[in-house]
Amino acid sequence: MNRSLMMKQLINTLRILAGNLILAVAVNAFIRSFNMIAGGSTGLALILSHYFPALDFSLATTIVSWSCFFLGLIVLGVKFALTTLISTIGYPVFVQLTGFLTSSQITADPLVAAVAGGCLMGAGLGLIIQSGASSGGLDIPPIILHRKLGWNLTVIMWALDVVFLAIQASFSPLTALLHGLILIACTYLAMNHILTIGSSAVQVLIITEEVEQVRQLLEKQLDKGSTLLHGRTGHRGKETDLILSVLKRRDLNSLREQVSAIDPAAFMIVSNVQEVRGLGFTGWQKVKLEDVLLSEE
């Protein structure tokens, strides 16, 4: 096996383990400490441990994780099951190892706990998903229903979460329910941020009479690519080229100043984009500009 590939796999494995450790810390230090509600496999484990007191939370987590793993193995095959194996083993182990945090009283404020716990859970899930792995647990049944019956994956996952939240609400005080909803919102916000970190950028659309100068500015001075879109101005009906480019946020101010110096009458539209893949950004594969130019000759 290629050494760089082995190193990449090792880094991915460590990131998946780190993600599961962060999840376990969030659950034990914040969710269980304040009896908050939760979705997914954590929510189901909380339900099981409530209705079956002899079944502690770590054991319930193990049962849920391995049940879903074997379900995925039987229905979806070995290849899919292997993507969940690290989380299936790692998460219950980390929940057991960090169980002491439940009584640690890191904070006395349940609102702080909801925000901190949600951010940690989102960070953990983001690391796992960003590494190309599955978090295991209750994302497997929705995947099965999606692949076998064509049901909408997002709708199924949300439906399961709603069911688990409703069950937990039946034995949780109102404050725990409200804090749990805050926790879930923070989880999704943090997870989305982690999944797009380092890959967000801005898209600019420039309308100018100095098309060639601005294009040269992007290519020669800022080392950015551009696409020329043919258009026509609405007021004068003049044929013109519009310049479309994507660049990192830190380069925007320099571009703005230099375009203004070239053409004070230029019109620039700036839009946020969540992810960019390709040359100069997050790779499909690391490619040098020289290689692309040589391949086109």
DSSP string, 109-163: -HHHHHHHHHHHHHHHHHHHHHTT----GGGHHHHHHHHHH---HHHHHHHHHHH
Strands (E) across the chain are located at 201-207, 227-232, 239-247, 267-273
Burial of 78 (0-12, 13-18, 19+ CB in 10 A): exposed
Q: Is the pTM of this model over 0.75?
A: no
Six-digit token string for 178 = 């409200």
Nearest residue to 104 via CA among 2, 34, 189:
34
What's the pLDDT at 291?
A: 42
User: One digit per residue, pLDDT tens: the chain, 297 residues?
Assistant: 577 777 877 888 888 899 999 999 998 999 888 888 888 888 888 899 889 988 888 888 888 888 888 888 888 788 777 778 888 888 889 988 998 888 887 888 889 999 999 999 889 888 887 776 767 677 788 778 877 887 776 678 778 888 888 898 888 888 888 888 898 889 888 887 777 666 568 899 999 989 999 999 998 888 888 889 988 878 788 888 899 998 887 788 889 889 999 999 899 999 988 777 666 666 554 444 444 334 333
What's the pLDDT at 32?
A: 85
| Domain boundaries along the sequence of the chain | 3-196, 201-296
What's the pLDDT at 295?
A: 38
Gap between the Cα atoms of 259 and 217, Å rounded: 8
Burial of 57 (0-12, 13-18, 19+ CB in 10 A): buried
What's the pLDDT at 33?
A: 84
Q: Domain 201-296 falls in which CATH fold?
A: Alpha-Beta Plaits (3.30.70)
What's the pLDDT at 289?
A: 40
Query: pLDDT digits over 207-246, tens only?
Result: 998 999 999 999 888 888 888 998 887 878 888 889 999 8
What's the pLDDT at 80?
A: 72
Q: Which residues pair with 247 in a beta bridge?
A: 202
